[in-house]
Amino acid sequence: MASLNVLALVCLSYVALLFFVAFLADRMATRGRSAAWMRSPLIYTLSLSIYCTAWTFYGAVGYAARSGLEFITIYLGPTLVMIGWWWGLRKLVRVGRSQRVTSIADLLSARYGKSNALAIGVTLLAVIGITPYISLQLQSITLSFAIFAEADPLRSYHETTTVFWVAAGLAIFAILFGTRNLNANERHHGVVTAIALEAVVKLVALLAVGIFVVWGVAGGVSETLSRIDASRIGEWRGGGGRWGTITFLAAAAFVCLPRMFQVMVVENEDERHLRVAAWAFPLYLLLISMFVVPIAAVGLELLPTGSNPDMFVLTLPLAQGQQGLAMLSFLGGFSSATSMVIVAAMALSTMVSNHMVMPIWLRMQAGVGASVSGDVRNVVLFSRRISIAVIMALGYFYYTLSGGGAALAAVGLISFAGISQMLPALVGGLFWRGATRSGALAGLSVGFAIWVYTMLLPALGGGLLPDHILADGLMGLSWLRPQALFGIEGLDSTVHAVLWSMSLNAAVFCIVSLLTFPSPIERLQGAQFVNVFEHSSGPRGWTGSVAQSEDLMVMSQRILGATEAQAFFQRELTRQGGRGTLPDPTPAFLERLERELSASIGAAAAHAMIGQIVGGSSVSVQDLLAVADETAQMLEYSNQLETQSAELSRTARQLRETNEKLTQISQQKDAFLSQVSHELRTPMTSIRAFSEILRDDGELPLAEKTRYATIIHDEALRLTRLLNDLLDLSVLESGQVSLNMTAGTLAEVLDHAVSTALAGSMQPMRVHRDPVSEGVRISSDLDRLAQVFINLIANAQKYCDANQPELTIAVSQGAGEIRIDFTDNGSGVPAAFQQLIFEKFSRVSPERAGGAGLGLAICREIMQRLGGDICYLSNQSGGSFRISLPVERKKLADPLI
């Protein structure tokens, strides 16, 4: 008989082997050298076998011993799902990968608009539903230890201590291999490989025991069959309802269990693996369940009555003195329990950490300010590790509190029923776009409450649910009896609980979904989930083909620029060994490229773009939102730059204009000064010359003297006029002129102007006027206006070269102004000079008698001050000037006087 010491040694060596395998697989994976078999569908299929826990390893035989063939339902459910609902699972895997979900809580929360409330609800449900299941595994290990201990008289065996160390050891394993990398949706190659190995061990163990029992104990197939017949196990007991219910439960749990989700979706390396698993996993189930009935039948027959049928797998070889086989069987059970506990702890810890611990921590940090990313990384890992420890502790405490008495099968079914409450929200989310978060939350809450009330509490016993409630219903209402809801009695308790919880859950989910409206992000996510096959491309992983390298190159050149992109690709090619012209799109290369691109376009955009080309994962809503965020930031930045550059160019233009103006002004000033000095010098020269003659020549006749004195006088007058004009112009130009606005008729101003301009002239020209139109009243600085008129009339007098000079003054009104045209019958101003004559010192022909060329310039300044205008009319036969004067609005109505 193997002593406990030997057993402990075997156990430790086995665990050491698992550690070694996990470590090796992890190392190979991180170095990118994972062997082909590690990525084969076989490993995936074997990892799915964590469905078969100690409950199925030991419990199935016990189940068969108690309830006959009913245990088959536990295998039937997953088989039906794998074969009949293969396409549904494929959709689940695709959604999980494309949304990069980390757990089933994450998936449901993502589907229903990233609702953390839903994630917390699912997490709580999972923790409550799975904790008894974990303690069930601990119990099975302890029980198997106890069986060896019974047979070992030398050792005193302490149950609770064993459980404690088993729990602690499993926690350490899960922490070491389940939280190695930060990214929870990265594959845990080590763990997956280890549980695949455990899957083989438990299958081999059960097959070995089975073969031994059939051929070694019973003595062949036909003898075994007759023993089965005698034991009545082969009979179909229990109603069809119970069969259907448990098959459904097993199927639902297979899809919803967090650990199944972990291996099936999160750890899935390639969607195509599912295709193999669809037939290989049912085959595994068939093999593992093949010998359940023979072992149960032979056990019942050979072992003393009262021995625990849950342990037949172990006790039967022991009773037959098969130490080695018993040890193998023990390892099989140990494998089943440990693999389940490790993966469940991993899956639950991700959920607890992501949806409960991290949100609280982040909220606490919100006040403290943004933390560095390294900080967060440590916190995430720490919280995940603590969560694993806490979950294991929960399992341990549940075990010690419950005393570990309940039959294995009962706990398993309760757990299944609890976890299955996620099914309506999950399936609805995958196939029904109308499913809403409120619906999911409501359905889940109702299902959860009914499950707790009708199944969990009655089963826990221990005074949790007072007897009177069980007998008379809540608050004495008989229709609220936990095991006869709504007065329906006589149903099997499991069928009753599942029927009510699932049907009400589904009904509430549908009704509330129909009554509520999904938020925009829910609608978007709903479309992403339901139409996942249209949104995401091909089943490939984050690896690409060589053809895609070219596309990646083209894209990188656009983003990084040709030289930099080529340099990067060249570097990568050398790193890969330098064959070919472009590097192979290995995952490592793609990762580095993504990092390179994110420096330019942001992480989310880089991920989305590579994903688009390589096609491994589709763009999730999170990606889109992140890209939109980044784009918005960039847009804002570029807008700022644009405004700044617009401002700069405006300032530059203004500076240029000012500079041009300054140059012009300076040129004008120079021209003006030279003009002025020229204009001054001419009269000054003649004054000086004639005054010198007068001074020096004492014998000049009187007539000559008078003539010279007159010249000097005239020149002095001309100088005075010129200086007056210059002064006048400078006052007008500087804007310092004050206007003296008075009212009067236009006729008065014209009368004054004509008489002044023509006074003293030898041959005053004829002036034609129209007294009627001149009767209009105006309000202006009449003196200044008269000055303009005088100038125009005097110019006409001076420059009109007609034989019979005539001037016509015509007045007209229109468009808010009064127009006064001065038209003579001379030859006028040549076209080339028509604009120029208004400039200072501009004269058409300087040699002709006339002023200094300031008259019209002064006129223009005055008219601008008065709010009017002066222009030359080119379409007239003679010289023609038009004065426009603004009319105030109320004056417009005035009739002509």
| Site of interaction with ligand ADP (CB under 6 A) | 791, 795-796, 799-800, 824, 826, 828-829, 837, 842-844, 850-857, 879
Among 132, 61, 62, CA closest to 403? 132
Helix (H) / strand (E) element for 883: namely strand 880-886
Report DSSP state, residue 476: G
Q: How many CA atoms lie within 13 A of 219 on its CB side?
A: 3
Least separation in angstroms between CB 750 and ligand ADP: 16
505 vs 11: CA distance, rounded Å: 44
DSSP per-residue codes, 781-802: -HHHHHHHHHHHHHHHHHH---
Query: For ligand ADP, which is the closer residue by CB, 268 or 823?
Result: 823
Query: For ligand ADP, which is the closer residue by CB, 382 or 833?
Result: 833
Query: For ligand ADP, which is the closer residue by CB, 608 or 852?
Result: 852
SS3 state of residue 779: strand
Query: For ligand ADP, which is the closer residue by CB, 200 or 836?
Result: 836
Report DSSP state, residue 37: G
Least separation in angstroms between CB 724 and ligand ADP: 12
Least separation in angstroms between CB 897 and ligand ADP: 29
432 vs 883: CA distance, rounded Å: 83
Query: For ligand ADP, which is the closer residue by CB, 433 or 718?
Result: 718
Query: For ligand ADP, which is the closer residue by CB, 98 or 795?
Result: 795
Least separation in angstroms between CB 836 and ligand ADP: 9
Query: For ligand ADP, which is the closer residue by CB, 233 or 792?
Result: 792
Least separation in angstroms between CB 658 and ligand ADP: 29
738 vs 742: CA distance, rounded Å: 13
252 vs 129: CA distance, rounded Å: 14
Query: Which residue has 């889940």 as its token pair?
Result: 444
Query: For ligand ADP, which is the closer residue by CB, 264 or 796?
Result: 796
SS3 state of residue 301: helix
Query: For ligand ADP, which is the closer residue by CB, 355 or 840?
Result: 840
Least separation in angstroms between CB 830 and ligand ADP: 9
Among 880, 886, 831, 840, CA closest to 859? 840
Least separation in angstroms between CB 856 and ligand ADP: 3
Q: Are 581 and 569 in contact (CB under 8 A)?
A: no
From residue 391, how far is each of 343, 348, 714 by CA, in Å? 12, 8, 121
Structure-block tokens of residue 177: 């291999």
Least separation in angstroms between CB 857 and ligand ADP: 6
Which amino acid is it at 303? Answer: L
Residue in the shown chain whose Cβ atom is closest to ligand ADP: 851
Query: For ligand ADP, which is the closer residue by CB, 364 or 849?
Result: 849
DSSP per-residue codes, 661-708: HHHHHHHHHHHHHHHHHHHHHHHHHHHHHHHHHHHH-TT--HHHHHHH
From residue 166, how far is each of 8, 431, 565, 614, 756 by CA, in Å? 11, 42, 54, 44, 127
578 vs 564: CA distance, rounded Å: 18
Least separation in angstroms between CB 824 and ligand ADP: 5
Least separation in angstroms between CB 798 and ligand ADP: 6
Least separation in angstroms between CB 806 and ligand ADP: 12
Among 555, 445, 414, CA closest to 508? 445
Strands 766-768 and 806-814, sheet pairing: parallel
Please enumerate in sequence order all residues whose Cβ is within 8 A of that of 13, keeping only pairs 6 or more positions apart, or say none: none
Query: For ligand ADP, which is the closer residue by CB, 152 or 821?
Result: 821
Least separation in angstroms between CB 645 and ligand ADP: 47
Query: For ligand ADP, which is the closer residue by CB, 274 or 859?
Result: 859
Structure-block tokens of residue 668: 């004008």
CB atoms within 10 A of CB 280: 18
SS3 state of residue 560: helix
591 vs 542: CA distance, rounded Å: 9
Query: For ligand ADP, which is the closer residue by CB, 27 or 848?
Result: 848
Least separation in angstroms between CB 728 and ligand ADP: 12
Query: For ligand ADP, which is the closer residue by CB, 22 or 792?
Result: 792
Residue 370 burial (CB < 10 Å; 0-12/13-18/19+)?
exposed
Least separation in angstroms between CB 839 and ligand ADP: 8
Please enumerate in sequence order all residues whose Cβ is within 8 A of that of 121, keeping only pairs 6 or more positions apart, or say none: 441, 444, 445, 448
Query: For ligand ADP, which is the closer residue by CB, 441 or 786?
Result: 786
Least separation in angstroms between CB 843 and ligand ADP: 3
Least separation in angstroms between CB 811 and ligand ADP: 18
Residue 323 burial (CB < 10 Å; 0-12/13-18/19+)?
middle
Least separation in angstroms between CB 860 and ligand ADP: 9
484 forms beta bridges with 481
873 vs 831: CA distance, rounded Å: 10
798 vs 329: CA distance, rounded Å: 135
Query: For ligand ADP, which is the closer residue by CB, 309 or 826?
Result: 826
Q: How many residues are present in the chain?
A: 897
DSSP H helices, 759-848, are 771-774, 782-799
561 vs 600: CA distance, rounded Å: 10
What does residue 739 show for φ and ψ, rounded to 5 degrees?
Answer: -90, 145
Query: For ligand ADP, which is the closer residue by CB, 521 or 836?
Result: 836
Structure-block tokens of residue 145: 């230890």
Least separation in angstroms between CB 827 and ligand ADP: 7
Residue 538 burial (CB < 10 Å; 0-12/13-18/19+)?
exposed
Query: For ligand ADP, which is the closer residue by CB, 724 or 742?
Result: 724
Q: Are 300 and 233 in contact (CB under 8 A)?
A: yes
SS3 state of residue 167: helix
